[in-house]
Amino acid sequence: MSDPFIVNEFQEAILDTVRRFTEEVVVPVAADLDRNTDPEDSFSWDIVEKADAAGIRTMTLAEKWGGIGADSVTTGMVVEELAKGDIGVSVIMTQTLKIAQILQVALTQDQQERFIPGFRDDPRGLLAIGITEPETASNYFVPGDWSFTSKAEKTDGGWIVNGMKHFISNGNRACVYMLFVQTEKGKPLQEGSTCFIVKRDTPGFTIGRVHDKMGERLANNAELIFTDCFIPDEDVIGEPGKGFQVLVDFLPASNAYAAATVLGNAQTAYDRSVEWAKTRNQGGKLLIEHDGIRSQLAEMHMMIDVARTYIRKATWMADNRDSVAWDPALGALPKVYASQAAWQIATWASEIHGGSGFMKDIGMEKLMRDAAAFLHSDGVNRTLLLKAANSIFKD
Ligand SMILES: Cc1cc2nc3c(=O)[nH]c(=O)nc-3n(C[C@H](O)[C@H](O)[C@H](O)COP(=O)(O)OP(=O)(O)OC[C@H]3O[C@@H](n4cnc5c(N)ncnc54)[C@H](O)[C@@H]3O)c2cc1C
């Protein structure tokens, strides 16, 4: 499918690089890494280092920081391309690329100078964002009288943080984290939480369990544990008590990036189904010649096209917020649509492969497990629909 949003040679060149990286580095090892039983063994530093060498890991850093300043539209294209090879690798990079974008606008000059070079210069430098905790999960998407359980208490020159976060992508692999905790008792988290920037080696900060996930296994997810962890005042992002505003102000394209990631998975499931239908002969003709299969493939094609168009709209609007009014529903809905479409496409793709679709060596079952990740991550879909409804019907 041609993409009318690829508007210049710069984007073409970036996407060529990412395509080559995906085909040469990710695809040959993804299925084997996925099969490892210990979740930590499914993660590969070799892939991260090669993504660094290809310029992918730091591509959203501005030129002055040594990157190429990839915008949201281009970043959405890149993470989709990565996910065509493996969704977990795309997640590792999506988290890193989007948080690098936030750091450059949300951090003060002093904070940028203290945190960005260390991340940039480490070929294994990854980033993570810690919001979700066991008892305060979907709650952060909908207004209400609830607070984070993780909290920070004021002390001389900084804050003492106690609590834990879970399900955090890159949790056990990152070097720098954005962390959201309650700093004002009795206030809802939207009004009483603060965003901190934290280095991995901060005393009092440890990694807990690495979660054993059903899919998206090449990315690790982990618990973050804070025990009397001192964070200095200089490492507050924005203002104390206004942590939530950091998410609202600086993360408009995050939902569309998640959508683009699951879309890459759907594209591969579709492409492989077309290939299969063109070579598998049953009922006296190729599957592609049966009207039921042809129309099913056309429907999959349509869903992919619609999801991609929605993502391009959201990322383009995120890039042009100065000139076009941002629609907050675009911060929730593209991932809902893309993940539902991707799940439908993955199950249909498996069905088109018949009995082979159920066999591990064909790879359809991995695509199904991987597609399922985005029904759950970046906000559960029903909660995101509620968040969108609250912005659409706010009057
Ligand atoms: C693979 C993966 C990666 C993730 N990565 C990160 C990360 O990097 N950082 C991070 O902070 N978090 C991350 N998360 C957390 C994720 O984004 C979800 O927000 C979180 O898992 C939802 O919380 P929960 O599982 O406790 O579900 P719950 O909040 O318990 O929700 C359970 C069900 O109830 C519904 N529900 C909840 N509240 C309401 C309501 N008010 N009205 C109607 N329905 C409601 C939900 O839609 C859901 O269907 C990740 C999760 C996964 C699975």
In order of their start, the domains of the chain are 9-125 (1.10.540.10), 128-247 (2.40.110.10), 252-392 (1.20.140.10)
Is 347 a pocket residue for ligand 1 (Cβ < 6 Å)? no
Q: How far apart are the CA of 249 and the centre of ligand 1, in A?
A: 21
Please write the tens of the pLDDT for every residue from 319-335.
Answer: 999 899 999 999 999 99
Q: How far apart are the CA of 208 and the centre of ligand 1, in A?
A: 19
Is 382 a pocket residue for ligand 1 (Cβ < 6 Å)? yes
Is 75 a pocket residue for ligand 1 (Cβ < 6 Å)? no
Instruction: Specify the pLDDT at position 189.
Output: 87
In the predicted model, is pLDDT for residue 148 greater than 90? yes
Instruction: Specify the pLDDT at position 394.
Output: 86
Instruction: Return mean pLDDT, the chain.
Output: 96
pLDDT band at 103 (very low <50, low <70, confident <90, very high): very high
Is 170 a pocket residue for ligand 1 (Cβ < 6 Å)? no
Average pLDDT of span 14-41: 98
In the predicted model, is pLDDT for residue 3 greater than 90? no
Q: Which of 81-85, 175-179, 249-253, 269-273 has the lowest mean pLDDT?
A: 249-253
Mutate to test the pocket of ligand 1, among 136, 138, 168, 247 (most ligand atoms within 8 A of CB): 138
State the DSSP string of 13-71: HHHHHHHHHIIIIIHHHHHHHHH-SSGGGG--HHHHHHHHHTT-TTTTS-GGGTS----
Task: Tell me which residue has its CA closest to atom 39 in ligand 1.
Answer: 383
Work out which ligand 1 atom sits closest to the CA atom of 383.
47
Is 162 a pocket residue for ligand 1 (Cβ < 6 Å)? no
Work out which ligand 1 atom sits closest to the CA atom of 170.
8
Please write the tens of the pLDDT for every residue from 343-391.
Answer: 999 999 999 999 999 999 999 999 999 999 999 999 999 999 999 999 9
Instruction: Specify the pLDDT at position 7.
Output: 73
Is 379 a pocket residue for ligand 1 (Cβ < 6 Å)? yes
Q: How far apart are the CA of 355 and the centre of ligand 1, in A?
A: 33
Please write the tens of the pLDDT for every residue from 282-299.
Answer: 999 999 999 999 999 999
- CA dihedral angle for residue 344, residue 349, residue 355, residue 361, rounded to 10 degrees: -110
Is 142 a pocket residue for ligand 1 (Cβ < 6 Å)? yes
Instruction: Specify the pLDDT at position 247.
Output: 83
- CA dihedral angle for residue 300, residue 304, residue 306, residue 311, rounded to 10 degrees: 160
Instruction: Specify the pLDDT at position 2.
Output: 63
Is 138 a pocket residue for ligand 1 (Cβ < 6 Å)? yes
